[in-house]
Chain A
Amino acid sequence: MTKYRLQSLEIINFRGFRGKVSIPFDRPIVAIYGPVGAGKSSIVQAIEYALYGKQLEIKERIAKLADLINEEESEARVTLTLVREDTGEQLRVMRALKRVGDSAREHQVELVIGGKKVASTVRDVTDIITEILRLDEEDFSRFILVTHRVLEGLVYGTSTRRSLTIDKLFGIDILENIYKSIPIRKVEEILEQEKSKLSAYKELPEIISRYGSVEEARRALDRIKREIEELKKLEEELQKKYAKLIEERNSILKSLRDLENVYIKYLQIRSEREKLEEEISGKESDVSETSIKIELDLIRSFLVSKLEELLFSKEAEELAKLSITSQNLEEAALKIYDILKRLEDALSRFDEEKENLAKAHEELKVEAERLSSEIRNIERRLRELESQFREYQELENKYGQPEAIRSELERLRELVEKTTSDVGVVSAIITILQAIASGRLDTCPVCGRELSDKDREEAKRRIEELRERHRKVLDEIENARRRITELEQVLAKMESLKPIVSEYEELYTKLKMLRENYSRVVAKLENIDKNRRFLEKRAQVLRFLIDEVRSRLDKVDEALTLLKKIKRYRELLREEKELEQKLRAQGFDLSRASRLEEEISEVSRRLEQTRERLNALSVEASRLEQILSSIPVETVEELRNRVYKLEDLYKKLNTIRNVLRKIQKDLRERMIERTRSLVDQYFRMIYPHPDLTGASIEISTRERLGVLVSEYVLYGIRRGGRKVPISRMSDGQRLTLALAFMLSVYSVASHNVSFLIMDEPIPYVDVEVRKAFASLITRLITERLVSQLVITSQSREFIDQIVQEARSKNVPVELIEIERIDGDRRVKVSYVD
């Protein structure tokens, strides 16, 4: 294994260290401690600087390279020696810095491997070290250098911060940083501004059609502005005049003393009276209580007769009982309105019923069509089967039913059998008789009697008889056989036709039933049609009636309103006269007051008009100004082109942002795929208690503002497999898990370094957690996860705990104590073996 560990560091005038300081790294655990500002981190920086030189500057952890030189000196030098674990070969790197003005430069570098100088330029030295260790400066700070920022991010951070910390360790935080760096909101804002300019152009055609041209619109804007100025002046004048008139009115009211209320009432009555006068002017003669009563009576009679016709007997009865007098005209009209409302409700019900009937009609129509189609199909099939069915029927008529044919066949077969046997006997008898008749026999073969000529003659006669009978029997057999063949053919035919006959008969029965159903459906349809026509007619008449009566009733209502106004007008006129007399009796100049009121009213009206015009002109002027102001800058094509390009850029940036998120998720998954099993393995190795049996890491994805956001979830595993997220773990468990994760990252990086540097890893945690951490880091050595661990801390107590833990596990420790005495640093090295 080509792994390197630290062997020694020599620094001269480096940062706070003045003069030469040598630090050996002789034990597996090197604990560096000292108070804040003693220079612990400077030792870590010296290691990093020795390896990667001025690259350190880029990380912004030091302000500038010159800060590495002790402020009292002009030169600094760092020499770091690493040793290859398998061969013991040394790698020594030396860098010397020289102050030049405010900055510094590396004036001497040297890399010696196995006693041979292999490089002496800044670039070569850094490149060779990077190659040998398989680590560049970024990887070094991620994998080898553990800081409290990283540990805290993992242990105590929110899920987002933890994810960013892990991204940093994996080296994929660049995606999140680029995502955040793209000024998408700015581009969006600019795009919106440009689009709003473009929308001003959209109104240009309307402006041109209204004013003729842009130039005319500009002139119109000037005119409008002038008119606005004039109107403002006028408004001011009218406002003053109005105030003056009101003042005058107030002074009149003041002089009235007790009559003030009378005068105000007089003004109110007069105003109301004038308004009513305007409304009823010229209509007074058109209306009277008598004429309204006559019309209401006529409406009532008309309605009663029609309602009876339409079978609304209850409503007709109510109306017939309604008594109409001059005193209850309004009430009677309301009653008729109420009846109309009920009729309208009935009309709605009719419509509803009609709809239901239409629905039922539609459904039945569909059913009728379905039945008709089924009937047609069956009829067609019956026609196809008809000839075969007829053939069967004819066979049945001629030969009877198959059962009867089978019986007949049985009988004939038996007959043939029996007759055939008889034929054999007869043939034998004929043979014997022929022997007798021919004289070949002298005695009877049956009884043995001697045969005479007479017997022979008798035998000849009997032969003839038997031959005749034999022929007949043979004919009978032949006929029976022919009949059997015929019947067998018929039976076979009938049996082959039987399924068709069954189908025919079944279909025929079904057809009959369907036709009956069809007739019933058609009858229902006709019935519905009839009901619909009836309802339609009734609804039509009712609708006409409602329209007719409502129109007449509305006129009556108008007449009633007018009548009320006339009455009110008369009342007001009377009251006005009385108040006028009262005021005159007190010496009040009513004509002067009237003129003043008229003047106030006129000025108020003009003021309102002026303000309305002013508002309208101000709106138009503002709109014109906005539109016209953007026109001279550029042509609409130029602006459109820019908006198009902006949209394109916006779209591209958005696509890139979305893709960055996707890649981030993808990369996170790839990275945890590499580390997952190691996290579990290391956790098991360094976690000493049985409550957690393993650990892992996974990705969870959720949607935030429409974008899928992924996050890492570190968790422990309880017995039985239940997951415990890091956020629900104790501090000690969290530290173990974080350390296991960091070690897994350290391992997958496949570098050639076997040491780990922890620079003040846990400065702000309590005693118990420190103790747990001390035990953990000792286990890193005992479990051979790293072969060398350099740890810095300002806490002597923590260092003691490390020593104690290491001693209990037989791990040697080197202690480096840094003291500050009068501005100088002193380094004291001791060992605990």
Chain B
Amino acid sequence: MSTEIDKIVLELLRREIPDEDTYRLAEQLYQAYKQGGQKKVRDLVYGLLKEIGIEIKEE
């Protein structure tokens, strides 16, 4: 069932997000949550901020 949901969600993300970069990010966020929950999602965004030059210290 959850595999089926994953498939549907990724298909819908693909359909709703025409921009390839944004879709990739959405997919990464989805997989991050699957792997490690909310913390992993936050870490992913903070990682992107770090690439831009902004360092976030976890509270």
Contact = CB atoms under 8 A, between A and B. Distances in A.
A183 interface: yes
Interface residues of A, number: 35
A144 to B, nearest CB: 12
A783 to B, nearest CB: 24
Interface in B19-59: 19, 21-22, 25-26, 29-30, 33-34, 37-38, 41-42, 45-46, 48-49, 52-54, 56
B54 A190 contact: yes
A652 B23 CA distance: 9
Contacts of A186: 45, 56
A633 B59 CA distance: 26
A139 interface: yes
Contacts, number: 89
A642 interface: yes
Contact of B26 (A136, A170, A646, A659): A659
Interface in A273-318: none
A656 B29 contact: yes
Contacts of B16: 659, 662-663
A551 interface: no
A194 to B, nearest CB: 8
Interface residues of B, number: 30
Interface centre among B1, B5, B38, B45 (most CB of A within 10 A): B1
A373 B21 CA distance: 66
B2 A663 contact: no
A656 B37 contact: no
B54 A182 contact: no
Nearest to A648: B21
B54 A646 contact: yes
B2 A175 contact: no
Contacts of B17: 655-656, 659
Contact of A187 (B5, B19, B37, B49): B49
A665 to B, nearest CB: 10
Interface in A697-745: none
Given A652-B21, A655-B22, A182 B9 contact: no
Contacts of A656: 17, 22, 25-26, 29
A139 B1 CA distance: 7
A116 interface: no
A489 to B, nearest CB: 82
Contact of A749 (B1, B9, B30, B56): B1
Q: Is the interface of A mostly helix, strand, loop or mixed?
A: helix
Contacts of B30: 174, 178
Contact of A171 (B2, B12, B33, B49): B2
B38 A174 contact: no
A171 B37 CA distance: 14
Given A136-B2, A139-B2, A642-B52, A653 B45 contact: yes
A257 interface: no
Given A187-B45, A655-B17, A178 B25 contact: no
Contact of A183 (B8, B21, B33, B45): B45
Interface string A174-213: 1101101111001100100010000000000000000000
B19 to A, nearest CB: 8
B25 A670 contact: no
Contacts of B26: 656, 659-660
A674 to B, nearest CB: 11
Given A183-B42, A186-B56, A659-B26, A177 B33 contact: yes
A138 B2 CA distance: 8
B30 to A, nearest CB: 6
A642 B53 contact: yes
Nearest to A663: B12
B35 to A, nearest CB: 11
Interface secondary structure of B, over-half rule: helix
A194 B38 CA distance: 26
A138 B5 CA distance: 12
Given A174-B5, A646-B54, A182 B41 contact: yes
A180 B33 CA distance: 11
A42 to B, nearest CB: 26
B3 to A, nearest CB: 8
A180 B38 contact: yes
Contact of B33 (A170, A178, A190): A178
A664 to B, nearest CB: 9
A247 to B, nearest CB: 57
B38 to A, nearest CB: 4
A177 B37 contact: yes
Nearest to A190: B54
Contacts of B53: 642
Residue in A136, A178, A655 whose Cβ sees the most chain B Cβ within 10 Å: A178
A667 interface: yes
Nearest to B34: A174
B9 to A, nearest CB: 6
A109 B30 CA distance: 33
Nearest to B3: A136
A331 interface: no
A342 interface: no
A172 interface: yes
A486 interface: no
Interface in A652-681: 652-653, 655-656, 659-660, 662-663, 666-667, 670
A666 B16 CA distance: 11
A649 interface: yes
A645 interface: yes
A52 to B, nearest CB: 13
Contacts of B48: 649
B38 A649 contact: no
A645 B52 CA distance: 7
Contacts of B21: 652
B2 A659 contact: no
Interface in A123-177: 136, 138-139, 142, 170-172, 174-175, 177
B38 A181 contact: yes
B37 A182 contact: no
A186 B43 CA distance: 13
A136 B49 CA distance: 36
B21 to A, nearest CB: 7
Contacts of B1: 136, 138-139, 142, 171, 749
23 contacts: A172-B9, A177-B33, A178-B33, A180-B38, A181-B29, A181-B38, A183-B45, A186-B45, A187-B45, A642-B53, A645-B52, A646-B49, A646-B54, A649-B48, A649-B49, A649-B52, A653-B25, A655-B17, A656-B17, A656-B29, A660-B26, A666-B12, A667-B9
Given A180-B38, A653-B25, A667-B12, 9 more contacts: A136-B1, A139-B2, A174-B5, A174-B30, A177-B37, A652-B19, A655-B22, A656-B29, A667-B9
Interface of B: 1-2, 5, 8-9, 12-13, 16-17, 19, 21-22, 25-26, 29-30, 33-34, 37-38, 41-42, 45-46, 48-49, 52-54, 56
Give the 10 A-B CB pairs with smallest separation, nearest first.
Answer: A181-B41, A181-B38, A659-B16, A663-B12, A652-B22, A656-B26, A645-B52, A178-B33, A139-B1, A171-B2
